[in-house]
Amino acid sequence: MRISRLYTPVLLATGRNIELDEDNGHYVRTVLRLKQNAQIILFNGQGGEYVCTVIEVCRKSVLVAVEQWINRTVESPLRVTLGLGISRGDRMDLVVQKAVELGVTHITPLLTERCVVQFKGEKKPQRLVHWQKIVQHAAEQSGRTCVPELLEIETFHNWLTKQEGLKVFLDPYANTTLTELKPESMKVTLLTGPEGGFSDQERDLARASGFEPVRLGARILRTETASLAALAAVQLLWGDFGNGGTL
């Protein structure tokens, strides 16, 4: 039987007893319905994971014993940063979730000229919390021992100047393909647009900042398809898909 994995930001060490936070406690108690002596796996993003045993389940708390550290990782040797033009609702959620499964290391939601999503009042922090939960749950499900970093929502122009490694942006009208490129120091930065794509000015700014326009085949892909296809492609070319990767 598969043992459930949960992320927790607390210090984990063999021999410690820890109380799960409210969300994890609710999940263990109400969704998984685990009882005393049941096993779960915890990880805190610092590498490896811990086999734990539930020692107490109460209405307001769940206490577990940290028993065994397992030194394992499924992280790709390729560090992939994703600048993700913000798209609407489920499309954005899907890309964030699947990007984690495909081994991304950093995600920055980007405000672009053709972004149709508006953030008013508390909407911006609320969306970040929502996406962070998606990142966390995707890391739990996919077996990752490191949780990708979800950065603050940023403008397209500011984000461009901070990137490094092989820098590419997806453009269906480009002449270059990924097979013609090679990453620097095993670092790739992917830039993908919102539903309406990039404006001409944004394309020019990206090129001026060292980003290479790249096409993915002969067909025009939806934003969510393009992002995930590009992530899978770079993992196959330079990451762990070509050498026995498990995802």
Tens of pLDDT along the chain (247 residues) come to: 688 999 999 999 999 999 999 999 999 999 999 999 999 999 999 889 999 999 999 988 999 999 999 998 899 999 999 999 998 878 999 999 999 999 999 999 999 888 877 777 677 888 999 999 999 999 999 999 999 999 999 999 999 999 989 999 998 889 999 999 999 889 999 999 888 788 889 999 999 999 999 999 888 888 889 999 999 999 999 999 876 443 3
Res 166: pLDDT: 95
Maximum distance among all alpha carbons in the chain?
61
Chain centroid to Cα 15, Å, comes to 31
Residues 194 and 115: beta-carbon distance below 8 Å: yes
Q: Which DSSP string corresponds to 19-49?
A: EPPHHHHHIIIIIS---TT-EEEEE-SSSSE
Query: Domain residues of the chain, as ranges?
Result: 5-70, 79-238
Ramachandran bin of 210, using left for φ above 0, alpha for ψ from -120 to 50, beta for the remaining angles: left
C-alpha distances in Å from residue 11, one per residue of 17, 46, 144, 169: 11, 9, 18, 38
Residues 65 and 51: beta-carbon distance below 8 Å: no
pLDDT, tens digit, 9 for 90 and up, residues 66-123 = 999 999 889 999 999 999 999 887 899 999 999 999 999 999 999 988 887 777 767 7
CATH 3.40.1280.10 fits 79-238, yes or no: yes
Question: Which among 182, 197, 6, 24 is positioned nearest to 114, based on CA atoms?
Answer: 197
Chain centroid to Cα 119, Å, comes to 22
| Fold assignment, 5-70 | Ribosomal Protein L25; Chain P (2.40.240)
What percent of the chain stands above pLDDT 70? 97
